[in-house]
Amino acid sequence: MRVVLSGGGTGGHIYPALAVASQCAAEYPDAEFLYIGGQKGLESTLVPKENIPFEAIDISGFRRKLSLENIKTVVRFLRGVSTSKKLLRQFKPDVVIGTGGYVCGPVVYAAAKLGIPSIIHEQNAVPGLTNRFLSKYVSTVAVSFEDSSASFSGAKKVIYTGNPRATTVHEADKNKGFASLGLPNGSSVVLVVGGSRGARAINDAMIAMAPFVKSMEHIRFVYVTGDNYYKPTLEAITSELGQLPDNLQVLPYVHNMPEVLACTSLIVNRAGASFLAEINSLGIPSILIPSPNVTNNHQEKNARTLEKSGAAEVILEPALSGKTLFASIERTMKNPSMHSSMSAASKRLGKPESARLIVEEIGRLIK
């Protein structure tokens, strides 16, 4: 089996592609891969670390407003299609898989025009512009949220698979998570994540909430600030309190996030689709603070899906403060029945078999 993967810009597009590759390799040991991504995207550094051959094309996204830059984008797209066709003819894949980001546009479109079976995966509750365009050409559209199937009414086939990243995280060892945090197995952990790069609003809430955490001594709080916000967050907390409370850790980044998630009792985070798939695969209750700075406000719509199902509480940024965040955490952690109900709802939304479902579809397409 020869597989081309494409997805880029953010980890939310790249990690699902890598999860599919991992599942393919497990089920088809002779599988060969080629990843086609953008020159400047995160994929250009992440993918080679996974020992997957990588080729780059020059592509950019459309601006929402009329702009001369969009003319350049059309030219880059056409060049990207030409380059992609050349790479596809050389590699001769059995299937091409796109997991989002504008780099998928020319790659998957080129595959469709060459008659190569193709799949796109939509992570978000609201489909992006690229996937809406590609859905008219691909063999199969896979979706993370069942309700988003209706957005692809013109597609040949739509399947509800969940997000393949869920498969990777579902298999994580929680005891390794406790050990990496220096905590006894079975500790109650509240994980507050500002994102890999950090989020100012969440980090400000972390700082404001720090004086309250010592009132819940039986709970271990872990703040993950992002590298950019680590020093100012740590300095602000220690400046006010003198030292960190005994039940609080402040970390710049977590390199073994699946294992740390596996030992987490409650998480506070943004509402990116891949991250939500990860926490649902483990049945973790969540307090979601969707980013307002994303296309089509898709993070709030992702978050509302979990809220509607009873798996999460949603706090929008204008209402976010140290007090409102702590009150929500306290309400959940001091109410075992509420916590249990949220956990069960989260687990019902989880699709740990997601990567396997996509690989099954690949097998069907290439028979």
- The binding site comprises 10-12, 124, 196, 299
| Contact (Cβ atoms closer than 8 angstroms) between residue 286 and residue 312 | yes
Token representation of residue 155: 């597609």
Q: Which of 78, 79, 136, 138 is nearest to 114 (CA)?
A: 138
How many residues does the structure list for the chain? 367
Cβ neighbours for 94, distance < 8 A, ≥ 6 positions apart:
1, 2, 3, 116, 117, 362, 366
Helix and strand totals (H; E) in the chain: 15, 13
What is the distance between the alpha carbons of residues 229 and 13, in angstroms, rounded to a whole number?
A: 24
Place of tokens 């990567």: 355
Tokens of 238: 């220690």
Amino acid at 219: I
Q: Extract the annotated binding site for UDP-N-acetyl-alpha-D-glucosamine.
A: 10-12, 124, 196, 299
Neighbours of 263 (CB within 10 A): 27
The CA–CA distances, whole Å, from 47 to 5, 101, 178, 302, 330 equal: 10, 15, 28, 26, 40
Task: Check: CB of residue 183 under 8 Å from CB of residue 150.
Answer: no
Residue 98, classed as helix, strand or coil, is: strand
Q: Please give the backbone phi and psi of residue 277, each rounded to the nearest 5 degrees, phi first.
A: -60, -40
β partners of residue 80: none
Amino acid at 267: I
For every residue of 192-215, DSSP letters joined together read EE--SS--HHHHHHHHHHHHHHTT
